[in-house]
Amino acid sequence: MSARLQLRDLRVAYDRNLAVTIDHLAVEPGTLAAVIGANGAGKSTLINAIANWSRAAPRLSGEILIDGEAVGGKSADHLARRGVVLVPEGRGVFMGLTVEENLRAGLFAARAGGRAYSLADIYTLFPRLRERRSNLGGSLSGGERQMLAIGRALRMAPRLLLLDEPSIGLAPRLVSLLLETIRALADGGLTVFLVEQNVRAAIAVADSLYLLERGRVVASGDVAAMKDDPRIIEAYLGARN
């Protein structure tokens, strides 16, 4: 069986600045892969490129394969309907829509490929959202907003869930709660690709780890092996202060 996600010779550039260079990367179905790296390492550029989405307009080259199918050049909305679902950095939900409107707004195809979570499923996963179902996205706390962003993504039957720094700006207790939920989703068969600056949190939940520096993967492997890698320890200590 082919990998859920494969990148080959991926290059992403802003004007003349090459921000991401990945020669090869593969994520197996039902696993949770995490990319860690410092500010400006290229994490967002990489994860956005997989969804062919960006607020800027970087240039992409190379191959992106989803379940063996080359999807380079497919629009972001097409990919989203086909189950490549991105929760972007920062504001990932609509402030002017209520929680429930955000959860109902997504459009996905019957052949998106993953399990489509019902509204009830999402409310079971994040009970807080049920309480706030008629509140506007703009009135939510950072944590609630992140839950909503993930809930919205799950509604779209993701084959591949792409998460850009889900832990950012959240209290430590909420970070573990959120990441444990994501881990449980992966245990249930969902394929997750997430990028994180919070190395400790990523190590706690991921199956495989990629350390990104200046747009390149400088170390990668199973979490069990990677956690003792001196470069990770260095990055981890670096991230702490």
Partner 1 sequence: MNIAQQLVNGIIIGHAYALVAIGWTLLLGAARLVNFGHGQIYMVSAFVAWWIMSMTGAPYVLAVVVAIAAGAVIGAIMQRLFLRLTLSQDLVNLMIATLGFGQILEGAAGLTFGPKPETLTSPLQAVTFDFGPVWFTAQDALAVGATILVFLGLHVVLNRTRFGAAVRMVAEDPPLVALYGIPISRVYISIFAFEGAAVALAATLIAPRTPILTSMGFEQVVMTFVVVVLGGIGSVGGSYVAGLLLGLFTAIFSALISPAYTTAAVFALLIAFMVLRPGKLAAGGNFAR
Ligand X SMILES: Nc1ncnc2c1ncn2[C@@H]1O[C@H](COP(=O)(O)OP(=O)(O)OP(=O)(O)O)[C@@H](O)[C@H]1O
Please tell me the distance from the alpha carbon of residue 62 to that of residue 205, in angstroms, as a whole number. 29
Q: Single out the residue of 23, 40, 63, 68 in contact with ligand X (rule: CB under 6 A).
A: 40
Interacting partner of 171 out of Mg ion, ligand X, partner 1, none (Cβ under 5 to 8 A depending on kind): none
User: Does 210 participate in binding partner 1 (rule CB under 8 A)?
Assistant: no
Rounded Cα gap, residues 105 and 81, in angstroms: 12
How buried is residue 195: exposed, middle or buried, by Cβ count under 10 Å (0-12/13-18/19+)?
A: buried
Near partner 1 by CB under 8 A: residue from 3, 13, 18, 97 = 97
Residue 166 binding partner per list ligand X, partner 1, Mg ion, none, with a CB distance cut-off of 5 to 8 Å that depends on partner kind: none
In the shown chain, the binding pattern of residues 152 to 191 toward ligand X, with x for contact by CB under 6 A and - for none, equals ----------------------------------------
Instruction: Write out the E strands in the chain.
Output: 5-14, 17-27, 32-36, 59-66, 69-70, 84-87, 160-164, 191-196, 208-213, 216-222
C-alpha closest to that of 162 among 59, 38, 71: 71
Cα angle 10, 150, 57; round to 5: 35
DSSP, collapsed to helix, strand or coil, labels residue 206 as: coil
Binding part of the chain for ligand X, among 12-20, 91-99, 125-133, 182-190 by CB under 6 A, reads: 12-20
Inter-CA distances, 189 with 2, 114, 223, Å: 16, 9, 18
Asked if 143 touches partner 1 (CB under 8 A), the answer is: no
42 contacts ligand X (rule: CB under 6 A): yes
Span near Mg ion by CB under 5 A; candidates 48-56, 81-89, 152-160, 218-226: 81-89
Closest to 164 in 3D by CA, of 89, 239, 109, 214: 89
Tell me, by CB under 8 A, how many residues bind partner 1. Answer: 29
- CB of 67 or CB of 165, closer to ligand X: 165
x/- site string to partner 1, residues 98 to 137, per CB under 8 A? ---x--xxxxxx----------------------------
Q: Is 44 in the site for ligand X (CB under 6 A)?
A: yes
The 10 Å Cβ neighbour count of residue 74 is 18
What is the closest distance, in whole angstroms, from the C-beta atom of residue 226 to partner 1 in the complex? 30
Q: Which of residues 74-93 bind partner 1 (CB under 8 A)?
A: 75-78, 80-81, 85-88, 91-92
Helix, strand or coil, per DSSP, at residue 235: helix
CA distance 214 to 12: 12
Per CB under 5 A, the list member of 6, 44, 191, 198 interacting with Mg ion is 44
44 or 102, CB closer to ligand X? 44
